[in-house]
């Protein structure tokens, strides 16, 4: 689908587009755990276009569907009414659902887009040890001082708090160069024009340096092969969940 076709589709009113999606994507081969709907196939998406990736109903992609199932299976998040969650760069597929769950305890934060609070993740305005949970997915690769950002996240969490941090792991070892500002060069080196680094598995070490204990989990660690296929989370872009806790404990890698 070219950009003109996508523009036409975006111009269709949401209720009508939803009705058309139900017809075009009718089927049950794919299932989205975020919105609970089935589809014949998922949509293509991404800078390097990935087939069968985006839910046509709620726009979740692989990492969103995997994270939703992780929260269901590995945490008590969906039983945590009253908890205080800071959701950095809130995803459209999550924001209304998390807000409904947590009510006044939910706070979205963004530096560029509309949110409950405007926030620079390198200088979080919340006091020490005041939040139960922080979600931050595919943000740190765009932040000039990501080490400071992770230290800030650790600071604002309560002693019993936890954070879900996700970044694309695309190289063997993290590479970054703040002198590179050309969008084309950033795309070539870091995978996207607005990224300032490409992360490797040593991301875990950076989280340790911020004061976190880390559990790293991939889809295959807790989902069956049939479910991985049905919710379409086998692509490398699904990534890993980095579940961070404080005080620091030895890392657990599944």
Domains, the chain, ordered by start: 62-253 (3.40.50.150)
Contact indicator for 42, 232 with CB cutoff of 8 Å: yes
Q: Which secondary structure element, helix H or strand E, spans residue 155, and what is its range?
A: helix 146-156
Pairing of strands 38-39, 30-31: antiparallel
Which residues of the chain are under the pLDDT cut of 50? 249-254
Contact indicator for 140, 174 with CB cutoff of 8 Å: no
Contact indicator for 58, 50 with CB cutoff of 8 Å: no
List, for residues 180-213, the tens digit of each pLDDT value.
999 899 988 888 888 999 999 999 999 999 999 9
- d(CA 117, CA 94) in angstroms, rounded, equals 17
Residue-level pLDDT at 76: 95
Q: What's the CA dihedral at 100, 101, 103, 105 to 10 degrees?
A: -140
Residue-level pLDDT at 215: 97
Residue-level pLDDT at 16: 64
Which segments of 84-168 are extended strands (E)? 85-88, 106-110, 117-118, 131-137, 157-166
Reported as half-sphere exposure (CB side, CA atoms, 13 A), residue 71 has a value of 22
Supply the DSSP symbol for 191.
Answer: S
């Amino acid at each position: 689908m070219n950009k003109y076709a996508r523009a036409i589709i975006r111009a269709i009113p949401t209720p009508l587009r939803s009705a058309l999606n139900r017809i075009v994507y009718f089927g049950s081969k794919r299932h989205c755990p975020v919105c609970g709907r089935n589809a014949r196939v998922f949509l293509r998406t991404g800078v390097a276009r990935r087939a069968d990736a985006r839910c046509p109903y709620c726009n979740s992609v692989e990492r969103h569907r995997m994270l939703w199932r992780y929260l269901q299976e590995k945490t008590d998040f969906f039983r945590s009414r009253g908890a205080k969650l800071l959701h950095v760069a809130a995803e459209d597929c999550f924001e209304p659902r998390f807000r409904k769950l947590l009510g006044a305890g939910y706070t979205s934060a963004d530096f560029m887009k509309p949110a409950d609070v405007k926030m620079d993740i390198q200088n979080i305005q919340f006091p020490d040890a005041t939040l139960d949970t922080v979600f931050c997915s595919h943000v740190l690769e765009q932040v000039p001082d990501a080490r400071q950002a992770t230290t800030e996240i650790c600071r604002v969490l309560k002693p019993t708090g936890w954070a879900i941090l996700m970044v694309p792991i695309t190289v063997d070892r993290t590479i970054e160069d703040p002198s590179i500002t050309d969008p084309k060069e950033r795309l070539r080196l870091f995978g996207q024009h607005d990224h300032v680094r490409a992360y490797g598995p040593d991301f875990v070490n950076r989280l340790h340096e911020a004061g976190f204990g880390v559990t790293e989990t991939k889809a295959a660690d807790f989902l069956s092969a049939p479910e991985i296929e049905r919710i379409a989370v086998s692509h490398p872009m699904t990534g890993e969940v980095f579940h961070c806790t404080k005080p620091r404990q030895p890392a657990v890698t599944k």
